[in-house]
Structure 1
Amino acid sequence: MVTCAIGWLLAITRAVNGQHRTDEELLAARELSLRWQVARVGQVQWHQQKALSRALHGPIQGAVTAAAMRLDEAVRAGTDATALVAETRDELRAAVSLLEEKPDATPGMVSTLDLIIGTWQGVCRVVAATTPDATAALDNDELCRSCLRDVLIDAISNAVRHGDASIVDISISLVGDEVLVRVRDNGATSGTAAIPGLGTRILDECSTRWSSEATDDGYLLTASLPVMP
């Protein structure tokens, strides 16, 4: 009887432990899924904010400034500004309508990397390697591609300006439903750590996780960005 009871206790213990592990795995999977969804929403918001910023600081800002100057001049001259007000209103409406236009698409991944490499030519040697499946996924996902471009631009810029880096090595691969990017540089200071502003904000909003650490010959930035399968 004692042996039988012990056997039952062991079986129950194993079952409880197995269920506990299953629950932990389920919670971990749900957490990963939630991180992915939050970062994906961040990508959408980042993309929209960029489009709004371009419009507000471009045509809309110019239209508002010009309208204010024309109206101020009319008031100073004491002229009838009725027609000018109507004209200004139409111009402002036209400028605001630009917000409804779809922003220019981000170039494909190969072209994006070529542009980044060309930008720093003669200042810093940028080398980039992307796996074929990562390239295909990014070419089909403009949101992720746009955010990744901003991450790379900011990382390289900070590495050069604040770390005096002369070499930046970029590697991009596809891991499940995320793009894993590694940016290594030989700079003396971590660009991301030096400027906890735009760069860290992009990473906080658009990635599921990221880290920046010192290496024997510089710094390594690692980030995972959600990408649509």
Structure 2
Amino acid sequence: MLRERSLWQRLVMAILIFLALPYFLILVYALPFMRPVSTLMLADLVALQGYDRQWVSIDDISPNVVRSVMMSEDGQFCFHGGVDWKQMSGVIEGTLQGDTTRGASTIPMQTAKNLFLWNGRFFVRKILEIPLAMTADFVWSKRRMMEIYLNVAEWGPGIYGIEAAARYHFKTSASKLSTRQAALLAVSLPNPIERVASKPGRGTQRLATLNERRARASGGYVGCVLD
């Protein structure tokens, strides 16, 4: 009985540490010199595949990228606290009615998933993701959040971060990406394996054109990062 109780206590302690560790790392990652890696990067290392990622400061990333990514992934990024509850409630309502809706993941939610969780549509993951996103949004500045997101996002097999993506797809640096290149990279984010920014199909090109128009009109929507 004592041995069984000890095993249960260890299991509970391990679960608690697993749940608490991301919140500790959020505090650590607030330090500007920290360069977080994603769970996908770690998985590539474990699989002995390696990956390409060169960290760049937000100051060395073209404003075209910030505008395009924000308008594509999270237009209310500057105005919510990690979760866009209005969009989330719409998705929940649509799901209950049996409608097919797009996801309501914000940039903080995607960043939390990339850093601490896993891919795929799992209800348990979403439950864990929301408080992590809200905590990260509270602890980090919006500029820091965007900097981390753009440096851990996947843009191809083993290609992580905007600098590696710029060099892999367009043979340039993140600081020199044009509006078109930024738009193509932004609209490829939901599925960068199938939507190849450097070899866009007609659908991807149409999305990029729409994204360019939105980015040009973004104005105050991106002020928390670019002002």
TM-score normalised to structure 2 length: 0.29
Flag the structure with larger Rg.
Answer: 1
- Structure 1 length-normalised TM: 0.28
Higher share in strand:
1
